[in-house]
Amino acid sequence: MDKNSKIVIIGAGIFGLSTAAQLASEGHRNILVLDRHVPPVPDGSSSDISRVIRFDYADDDYLRIAHEAYLKWQQSAKYKGIFYSAPYILTGNTSEHGQSWIKKTTAALTQRNLPWQKIDDAAEAKKKYPVLSGALAGGSNFFGYDNQQAGWADASKAVSQLRDDCIELGVSFISGRAGTVVALDTDPNKKITAVRTLAGTSVEGDHFILTAGAWSAGLVPMYHSTLATAQAVGYVRLSESEMQKYADLPIYANFSTGWFNFPPHEESKMLKMAVHGWGYTRTPNREEQRAMGKHADSSPPMIPPRERRNFAPVEAEQRLRQGLCEILPELGDRPFDRVALCWYTDTPTGDFIMDFHPDYANLFIGGAGSGHAFKFLPVLGEYMSLALKKTLPSQLAQKWRFRKDYATQEDAFVGDGSRGGPIRRELHTQERAKL
């Protein structure tokens, strides 16, 4: 790519912003980022008070890259006040399903000489972390370990910093209706010449990079290789004394339900929890289909961008509460300050996509975070840039390739082995109205 050619990036989440910053630092002089809203985008998947940072992966590629990213989060002065260290406890139940993912993950850590500590039962977990007052799995029905090298990041702060890096590097932004892409104009050679926006304007470019997260499938055919799924998050407000009491709360993840928590967030005084599960789908409504084409099987609401609504399906809220009761029963009947749904862009294997779109001559796709991409923020742009130049190591190019082979598969979304809980379902009409 010519350093003066115009690169248009659609979507200012971590995929789009990290790519913009990387390309600008490599000397590209004409980069424009479009988004529905100024980043951090309130309903974008990269925005919230927290995201877990860990390198516990069963897959050695993700483990290695996540470790590389973790060292940056932990050591770089840049992430001071954004990244916080915290131990990470991974548990499943003693069933086959509960054990297999954890066994594979610990084997992968051992292979790389990275330390982890087995926890034999709930009593041992409680002894090591006295703040965990709950029954946990109870008795000996406990299978898990902890990793002291983990933590969490203030996601919206990290995104704000990345946005500012982009601005300092000379990247331009258009947000709002004039930054909201509704269609792609192509020439007879399948080259995109411009994108059209909700404001009726047209934005020309030489290269286009689509990093629109859960909304991407609304703009181009994804051949059923991605599925946008909504996942539940809950926030409990803590008092000053509770903030102190729970200051050393570890991250506790129960992989048989997908429930996990974050340590308290100092500025907001929130104790946050979420369910990493199969989630909910939302078929785009008629208006959205008319505006965006009929590509997406599921999509978050398109307009207007706004704070996530205080809503989660009833059973999702129950699951959030049940997990809380298992580790901190004294907070079990505390009302949620708010609950919300946050969007994953899942792939059948849990792998990201960083590849050129097969239907266009100059469109690159980056994303499909599958609920676990945030932690890669410090290194994501480098991998996106390698993929753009087609110089990724071959096994990564293979892993992150654009796949058309799911197009004919009825339901390929079986996940990477890390999801728990009830199967995915479509949101009801009454639920959709509350989003």
Ligand X SMILES: *[C@@H]1O[C@H](CO)[C@@H](O)[C@H](O)[C@H]1NC(C)=O
Residues forming the site for ligand FAD (CB under 6 A): 10-16, 34-37, 41, 44-46, 51-52, 179-181, 211-215, 219, 231, 233, 274, 305, 342-344, 367, 369, 371-375
| Alpha carbon separation from 423 to 279, 280, 316, 318, 356 (Å, rounded) | 8, 9, 12, 15, 32
User: Cβ 124 to ligand FAD, closest distance in Å?
Assistant: 25
62 binds, among ligand FAD, ligand X, none (CB under 5 to 8 A by kind): none
Pick from 6, 99, 322, 417 the residue near ligand X by CB under 6 A: 322
Question: Is 33 a binder of ligand X (CB under 6 A)?
Answer: no
Q: Rounded to an integer, what is the distance from CA 286 to the centroid of its chain? A: 27
Question: Is 105 a binder of ligand X (CB under 6 A)?
Answer: no
Pick from 43, 165, 326, 431 the residue near ligand X by CB under 6 A: 326
If you write DSSP's letter for every residue of 281-335 in order, what string do you get? E-PPPHHHHHHH-S--SS----SS--PPPS---HHHHHHHHHHHHHH-GGGTTPP
Question: Is 94 a binder of ligand X (CB under 6 A)?
Answer: yes
User: By three-state DSSP, how is residue 263 classified?
Assistant: coil
In whole angstroms, give the CA distance from residue 145 to residue 372. Answer: 20
**Toward ligand FAD, which CB reaches closer, 30 or 45?**
45
Phi, psi of 203 (to 5 degrees): -120, 115
Pick from 137, 274, 339, 354 the residue near ligand X by CB under 6 A: 137
User: Cβ 103 to ligand FAD, closest distance in Å?
Assistant: 22
In whole angstroms, give the CA distance from residue 335 to residue 331. Answer: 9
User: Cβ 252 to ligand X, closest distance in Å?
Assistant: 7
Query: Which DSSP category does 428 fall into?
Result: P
* Consecutive H or E run containing 252: strand 251-254
User: Cβ 208 to ligand FAD, closest distance in Å?
Assistant: 11
257 binds, among ligand FAD, ligand X, none (CB under 5 to 8 A by kind): ligand X
In whole angstroms, give the CA distance from residue 427 to residue 435. Answer: 10
Question: Is 299 a binder of ligand X (CB under 6 A)?
Answer: no
Question: Is 93 a binder of ligand X (CB under 6 A)?
Answer: yes
Closest CA to 302 of 210, 431, 215, 176: 215
Pick from 100, 141, 160, 186 the residue near ligand X by CB under 6 A: 141
Pick from 142, 311, 374, 413 the residue near ligand X by CB under 6 A: 142
422 binds, among ligand FAD, ligand X, none (CB under 5 to 8 A by kind): none
User: Cβ 34 to ligand FAD, closest distance in Å?
Assistant: 5
In whole angstroms, give the CA distance from residue 39 to residue 15. Answer: 12
Pick from 256, 298, 362, 370 the residue near ligand X by CB under 6 A: 256
User: Cβ 24 to ligand FAD, closest distance in Å?
Assistant: 17
- Classify residue 188 as exposed, middle or buried by CB count within 10 Å of its CB (0-12, 13-18, 19+): exposed
349 binds, among ligand FAD, ligand X, none (CB under 5 to 8 A by kind): none
Pick from 69, 136, 162, 392 the residue near ligand X by CB under 6 A: 136
Number of Cβ within 10 Å of residue 196's Cβ equals 15
Pick from 95, 111, 148, 283 the residue near ligand X by CB under 6 A: 95
In whole angstroms, give the CA distance from residue 162 to residue 13. Answer: 10
